Structure 1
Amino acid sequence: MPKIGVLFNDIKPVACRMAQELEETLSQEGYEVCVRSSQSGLLGYSQSDQLPNPTPMDALIPEGFDQSMAFCIVLGGDGTVLAACRQIAALEMPILTVNTGHMGFLTETYVNQLPHAIAEVQAGNCMIEERSMLSVQVYRQETLLWQALCLNEMVLHREPLTSMCHFEIKIGHHAPVDIAADGVILSTPTGSTAYSLSAGGPVLTPDVPVLQLMPICPHSLASRALVFSETDPVQIFPATPNPMVMVVDGNGGCPVLPQDRVWVERSPYSARFIRLQSPEFFRILREKLGWGLPHIAKPTSVELP
């Protein structure tokens, strides 16, 4: 029998209970099961007064996880999925995501459907959908200060967020541009339905090989979202004397000083999601975000008073 991994959000009682039940059930069926918390995938925030000590991106792999695993079951909400993708990206392991949270935009199935979902995966009645990830690094001169893998987006802004500042941004071989805004969002197609969407950016289907740059509250009528090839690396220089804060996937980041630069490129690793049926992105948009819902039909005739 193959080896199966389980990553769960250990602050959610439902996920904790399901992880224990899964370990018992799968072990009785003869599988070798490795159960670990998703907490090591959470980034945390580095402090400006700490010495640089960047964690290697492939050092987040949970103890006991390796490439011999058939797949990994992730129990939690979208935040848990984001953390799990960072933890096992280097193993290129497919994940079956189970929603024990609220929105569950990135999850594939629910707790009450999990036994059926596992049976379908074991029978090979599934497919793998790959999602692009980003490699985010912060440099001071040539010294690497901080780095992380990112599935949704990287956000760079001032604190307080309402203070406008300037960003000098260079995309690929193109000439640098200056953007005046409260901040900037650099997102993958997966992240186009997250913070970028709330900031007014377009929705991108996950299979499009592009990245998106979205200014936050830009101070210009001409400053809008830019979509470009994911093969182009991005350099961001904070063209302001005030410190900034970088946040990755909404749960961690680091300070960025005026002399620093941020380097972002497509990661060689991808998130690999197990899909029990052919991915239907528009259905997910409709169910989770209410996009494309039919309007109530207008009456064919109106009686005048």
Structure 2
Amino acid sequence: MPKAGIIYNDIKPIACRTAEELKDKLISWGWEVYMATGVGGILGYSSPNRPVCHTAINHLNPPGFDGDMSFAVVLGGDGTVLSACRQVAPYGIPLLTVNTGHMGFLTETYLNQLPQAIEHVVEDCYQIEERAMLTVQLFRDDLLLWEALCLNEMVIHREPLTSMCHFEVQIGNHARVDIAADGLIISTPTGSTAYSLSAGGPVVTPNVPVLQLVPICPHSLASRALVFADTEPVTIFPANHNQLVMVVDGNGGCYIMPDDQVRMQRSPYAARFIRLGPPEFFRVLREKLGWGLPHIAKPTSVELP
């Protein structure tokens, strides 16, 4: 019996109702169905007194979600999609993402299109687009304190107030560089349209194998976004006397003490998205962010006297 999964946002009634209806439909078609909420992929926060507070990257999968699962349907917004990716990426489960939220930048289809979409998926009429993810880890004296999978970005900043922080950053085997800014963002191509974009970073198409470092409000005219190969690991050494906070995918994270190290590298796991047609990134940019829309009035050629 083929096996499918459903991951849904349980605080949205429409997502809960749709999940139950979809489950009944798949079972009537002869599928074994497992359900889970997006809560399982939400990252917890550690505390300064008890920093070891995380679940290992490959232990976030809900019961029944494993390598034998053909696909999973995600019902929610971008936050639910990010959570679902952390839950199933280690098992390579393809995700059909259905928007029940607002922006839905990461979603493939809408609720009113779900009946047709699920028929295509059940009949294997789809493509799979893989998106690179990051493995983010916090070390103290070579002891792993916290780790997470990251699809969008990792951010380090000071709390509770925004103020200048100092960082030493090493990319690959290159010499460390010093950056003074309110914070740092390390972004994947998928995350280039999220926080990184708001901080002045470039938009990167998803198939380009790069990462980018974006200082937040840097205190230097020379500190600008840097794009580099995703084969290069990144280590961040906080050069501050106060603790900092690390946030992954805008969701959860941990405290960073002055002698800690944050290490990042491209994860061996990728987010696998079901596409019902050829991926069209520029169309998504246009529809969601208004990029490349034609001007209402274009200049016309005028003959000079």
Fold shared, TM-score > 0.5 on shorter chain: yes
Supply the distance in 1 between the matched residues of 2:218 and 2:183 (Cα, whole angstroms): 8
Q: For the Cα contact (< 8 Å) 1:161–1:183, is it kept in 2?
A: no
Equivalent position SS for 2:297:
coil
Distance 1:247 1:271, change over 3 A: same
Query: What is the Cα deviation at residue 38 of structure 1?
Result: 1.2
Supply the distance in 1 between the matched residues of 2:237 and 2:26 (Cα, whole angstroms): 50
Q: For the Cα contact (< 8 Å) 2:44–2:54, is it kept in 1?
A: no
Q: Compute the TM-score of the two structures, normalised by the length of structure 2.
A: 0.97
The equivalent residue for 1:151 is 151
Query: What is the Cα deviation at residue 122 of structure 1?
Result: 2.0
Describe how 1:225-304 pairs up with structure 2 within 5 A: 225-298=225-298
Q: Are residues 1:68 and 2:68 paired? A: yes
The equivalent residue for 1:212 is 212
The equivalent residue for 1:45 is 45
Cα distance per residue 1:150-192 (max 9 Å; x no partner): 0000000111452001100000011100000000000000000
Q: For the Cα contact (< 8 Å) 1:8–1:38, is it kept in 2?
A: yes
Query: What is the Cα deviation at residue 54 of structure 1?
Result: 3.6
Supply the distance in 1 between the matched residues of 2:225 and 2:268 (Cα, whole angstroms): 25
Supply the distance in 2 between the matched residues of 1:223 and 1:200 (Cα, whole angstroms): 11
The equivalent residue for 1:81 is 81
The equivalent residue for 1:163 is 163
Q: For the Cα contact (< 8 Å) 1:54–1:144, is it kept in 2?
A: no
The equivalent residue for 1:222 is 222
Query: What is the Cα deviation at residue 142 of structure 1?
Result: 1.1
Supply the distance in 2 between the matched residues of 1:299 and 1:137 (Cα, whole angstroms): 52
Supply the distance in 2 between the matched residues of 1:139 and 1:301 (Cα, whole angstroms): 62
Root mean square deviation, CA, Å:
1.3
Distance 1:161 1:226, change over 3 A: farther
Q: Compute the TM-score of the two structures, normalised by the length of structure 1.
A: 0.97
Which has the larger displacement, 121-130 or 91-100?
A: 121-130
Q: Give 2:76's aligned amino acid.
A: G
Supply the distance in 1 between the matched residues of 2:161 and 2:69 (Cα, whole angstroms): 43
Distance 1:24 1:264, change over 3 A: same
Cα distance per residue 1:173-224 (max 9 Å; x no partner): 1110000000000000000000000001000000000000000000000100
Q: Percent identity?
A: 68
Distance 1:204 1:298, change over 3 A: closer
Query: What is the Cα deviation at residue 53 of structure 1?
Result: 4.3
What is the count of residue pairs matched by the alignment?
Answer: 302
Equivalent position SS for 2:258:
coil
Query: What is the Cα deviation at residue 4 of structure 1?
Result: 0.6
Supply the distance in 1 between the matched residues of 2:268 and 2:147 (Cα, whole angstroms): 14
Q: For the Cα contact (< 8 Å) 2:156–2:184, is it kept in 1?
A: yes
Q: For the Cα contact (< 8 Å) 1:152–1:249, is it kept in 2?
A: yes
Q: Give 1:274's aligned amino acid.
A: I
- Structure 1 spans left out of the alignment, 5+ residues: none
Describe how 1:38-187 pairs up with structure 2 within 5 A: 38-50=38-50, 52-187=52-187
Q: For the Cα contact (< 8 Å) 1:161–1:182, is it kept in 2?
A: no
Query: What is the Cα deviation at residue 296 of structure 1?
Result: 1.4
Q: Give 1:207's aligned amino acid.
A: N
Equivalent position SS for 1:169:
strand
Supply the distance in 1 between the matched residues of 2:233 and 2:299 (Cα, whole angstroms): 53
Q: For the Cα contact (< 8 Å) 1:5–1:71, is it kept in 2?
A: yes
Distance 1:142 1:300, change over 3 A: closer
Cα distance per residue 1:81-103 (max 9 Å; x no partner): 00000000111110000000000
Query: What is the Cα deviation at residue 301 of structure 1?
Result: 9.4
The equivalent residue for 1:35 is 35
Supply the distance in 2 between the matched residues of 1:298 and 1:257 (Cα, whole angstroms): 54
Query: What is the Cα deviation at residue 123 of structure 1?
Result: 2.2
Query: What is the Cα deviation at residue 300 of structure 1?
Result: 5.2
Query: What is the Cα deviation at residue 68 of structure 1?
Result: 1.2
Supply the distance in 2 between the matched residues of 1:104 and 1:51 (Cα, whole angstroms): 33
Query: What is the Cα deviation at residue 19 of structure 1?
Result: 0.5
Supply the distance in 2 between the matched residues of 1:299 and 1:190 (Cα, whole angstroms): 35
Supply the distance in 1 between the matched residues of 2:25 and 2:162 (Cα, whole angstroms): 51
